Amino acid sequence: MNPYLSLILIIPIAGAGLLALFEQLKKFLAKWKICTDCINHALASIIALGVFGLSIVAAFVPSFLTWLESFYNGGLLRFGQLEAVLIAIFSFLVLMVTIFSVNYMKGKNGIGYYYALIFTLLTGLSTVTMANNFITLFVGWELFALSAYVLVSFERAKRGAVEASMKYFIMSTAGSMLVLLATALTYGIYGTVEYTAIAASTTPIAAIIMALFVVGFAVTAAMLLLNAWLPDAHSSAPSTISALLSGIVVKAGAIGIYRTLYFAFSPAALSAATGAVVSWLGILTMIEGNFLVFAQFKRKDIVDFKRILAYSTTVHLGYIILGIGSMAPDALGVQASVFHILTHSLGKGGLFLLSGVLITALGSRDMRKMIGIGRRSPFIGIVLTVGLLSLGGIPITAGFASKLMVILATFNGGANAVNPLMFINSILLVIMAIINSLLALGGYLYILKKMLFDEPDGEDTGKIKIPIFQKIALAIIVVVLIVLGLWPDLIVSKIALIV
């Protein structure tokens, strides 16, 4: 494999080991009056920036990517436009989390271990993205999953953190076992674990293997009825980790489903009915997510802001799965899903990071105590507005362009089908996607009304001070959401190269 390409995996995993080492030497370095936490923050930022730089160059310089692809010879890993864009998305959010953590983690113990786990998670996600067979994918899968379990319970003294981590561990492990079973069946029957092993198979056992893969990956993707771990993990984890869980970790499940449908079987070998089933699973996932979001607004005990954001993630995973299942020509559905992965990662990641600011300032996750919070800080108001409107798919934000692209891909998937029933199916899917988008928008506007336009009803109506590094991370995310909303072709032109 190309040594340069190897750096995408070597830099974060080696950096994780170095960060953990610094944490181990913390007491020794303190004797020399060396600020270990400062070293950890600086090193973490350099590592995240390094991985982002490698991936962004590959994604935006065609000649460089062609050179990288020339080293691909069917080994354990593969690298192309899709992998470059996805790793750029993952590493960018990790970079924003790292910058945000400089203030957020101040005074907390185990900062070196915290960053080490984040970069181990990034290494696992990158491996899943670049995996060229099911065994490599499974190794990467377990690497990021184990890191995520620990990160959810990082603040283990906090009530519910360990319980949430255990629930996530049990459900995710069950999904992993299904993936491992499907991998074992693939090897046992076809004698290989390559994606192409069952590419042209239409036997019943091939359908069973595909179902096992899809259901196993669907647990991490928080799809229909498989997302019980999601709200507890997101609300109990540190807000920076919630941003990573929602922004990039759940996307690994969608990537696994994509690999199964488009590589293990290939669109040509799949029936239109298979794509329709996957698309309707996406629609049903949206419906469930919207229902659970509105159910949170009616709760009497606590209207947990982070749980609302967590359930909202389910809605957007439905859009990503819808695009993958559309089977649109020229990989339009996949391109739309990748674009939505980007816009949702930015919008939801930014809002989860903002929740860290709000919880620190108010000492509560209860949205009823956040009434009018945007009036107390114009900066918070701007981040709330841009983040929520992007998730809601309002024009001039990036979320509008990605949702529109998913809907167009869904329509094209049916418009090019030979069977007229598939065209009718695509029309129904588009209608349901639009309805769910409007429902989700209603929820976001309700949050915006409560937190920005309503008068604060608490005694404390003073200004909220936001540390500088937290402001920098949030401001960058807001700017990127607006820029990609106004000029989506900056990234769509690169995503369009995915075939």
Q: Looking at residue 235, what is its pLDDT?
A: 87
Whether 199 maps to a domain, the answer reads no
Q: Looking at residue 202, what is its pLDDT?
A: 66
Whether 368 maps to a domain, the answer reads yes
Whether 370 maps to a domain, the answer reads yes
Q: Looking at residue 92, what is its pLDDT?
A: 95
Q: Looking at residue 375, what is its pLDDT?
A: 84
Domain count, the chain: 1
Whether 334 maps to a domain, the answer reads yes
Per-residue pLDDT 10s for the chain (499 aa) are 566 667 788 899 999 999 988 888 777 776 666 777 788 889 999 999 999 998 898 888 877 666 666 655 557 788 888 888 999 999 999 999 999 999 998 878 889 899 999 999 999 999 999 888 889 899 999 999 999 999 998 888 777 788 888 999 999 999 999 999 999 998 888 888 887 766 656 677 888 888 899 999 999 988 888 888 988 998 889 999 999 999 999 999 999 998 888 877 655 556 667 788 889 999 999 999 999 999 998 888 888 899 999 999 999 999 999 998 887 777 788 899 999 999 999 999 999 999 999 998 888 888 888 888 888 888 999 999 999 999 999 999 999 999 999 999 988 877 766 677 888 888 999 999 999 999 999 999 999 999 988 887 666 667 788 899 999 999 999 999 999 999 999 899 889 888 7
Q: Looking at residue 453, what is its pLDDT?
A: 85
Whether 61 maps to a domain, the answer reads no
Whether 177 maps to a domain, the answer reads no
Domain that holds residue 420: 288-499
Asked if residue 97 lies in contact with residue 118, where contact means CB atoms within 8 angstroms, the answer is: yes
| Statement: the pTM of the whole predicted model exceeds 0.75 | yes
Q: Looking at residue 486, what is its pLDDT?
A: 93
Whether 476 maps to a domain, the answer reads yes
Q: Looking at residue 412, what is its pLDDT?
A: 85
Whether 360 maps to a domain, the answer reads yes
